[in-house]
Amino acid sequence: MNKEGLSDLNLKKWLIKTRREFHQHPELGFQEKWTTARIAEILAYLNIDVQLFDDMTGVVGLLRFSDGYGPCIGLRADIDALPIEETNNTAYKSLNPSVMHACGHDAHITMMLGVAKKLSEFLNKKNTCQSSGDVFKGSVKFLFQPAEENGPGSQPMIDRGALKNPDVDRILACHVTSSLPSGKVAVPKENAYSSGDSLEITITGRGGHASTPHITRDPITAGASLINALQTIVSRDIDPMEPAVIAIGSFHAGTAGNVTPEKAVLRGTIRALAHEVREQLHKRIRQVAEGIGSTMRVKVKVTIIKGYPPTINDPEIAKSLYLASTKIMGPENVEWAKPSLGAEDFSFFAMAKPSAIMWIGTGSKKYSAFMHSPDFDIDEKALEIGVDIITQAVSDYLKDKS
């Protein structure tokens, strides 16, 4: 571990070194044992109280600026990786076969540890030099959360009391993205991410020879009709000002060209930015499927597995992130963001406490691969940007205005 001081130069080197270390040791959701231990080790070195869980991975760190009073701000970082074989040929390439930090969680871990380093240094200076002009009240709780990709890992942390003792008042998070140029950041005003639910529809008919269609009940024809009908839900049942998606990505039926199969299985995803639109989509999918089943004389079973709810930023906290970003980056490099129809299990934190998440650009000619790609990588200049913005937002919130 780097035991040098926390000058900007040393911090920058440390951030890159730390991010690459985590990148080399990716672990899947709820299996992040090495990652958990390493985060806990770094926090302990920084004299930050560490809480681990007996029955799951993940770390909670607590840094107190004042005992027993003042607000508590939570900082969340997801720590898991994806089941992807990395194709990058870098010195810090994944050492774990078929596992890769392809969504930037190694950067998120590093950024929040960087914030911990800067705040820990500030606290040490305050304790040794009482002439410091800034006075913070309250505490910072670091929430290193497992299993964002295949979770949720956030809700089990909440269930185990991660937001209590002291009670967290608000939560901040950030996510890197190659969709924004390096040196740019964006903050969603309110709607950040959509819900993400899984859909499976099983159609059971009557199999037979393709030459006698009149005595079969063709699940393929029914499935084709159903796919077309499902698309009318978004275009005709949902307010056109409300983003929504129903996508069928898998259609499996039959094994031979001259045989009508007995069964067809459709799988897809359902996305919405609003809770009420999400429920409306679920209801109409079931109704449309039932109608197609009756018309085509087949049995239709609809299974909807709820995944992550919509992630909705608290507007006041989103504004605080925006203002902190302009202080660090200048207003020309900060924008209000359009929401994403990706899903994020930060949504569970955002439903538990007023929260906001922002996006930090890492894209360039060299780093243009999309997240979840085997060649995804980031412009590491984003690490220090993320640290500085989140530290500024924490400072603005905890600083004594009296």
- 308 labelled catalytic: yes
**377 φ/ψ angles, rounded to the nearest 5 degrees:** -155, 170
Instruction: Spot the catalytic one: 308, 322, 367, 397.
Output: 308
The strand order across the sheet containing 355-363 reads: 49-52, 59-64, 139-145, 72-78, 170-181, 355-363, 185-188, 334-337
The answer to whether 163 and 51 are in contact (CB under 8 A) is no
Of 21, 200, 380, 384, which residue is the catalytic one?
380
**C-alpha neighbours within 13 Å on the C-beta side of residue 60:** 23
Q: Is 41 a catalytic residue?
A: no
Q: Report d(CA 396, CA 112) in Å as an integer.
A: 17
Q: Which residues are catalytic?
A: 308, 380
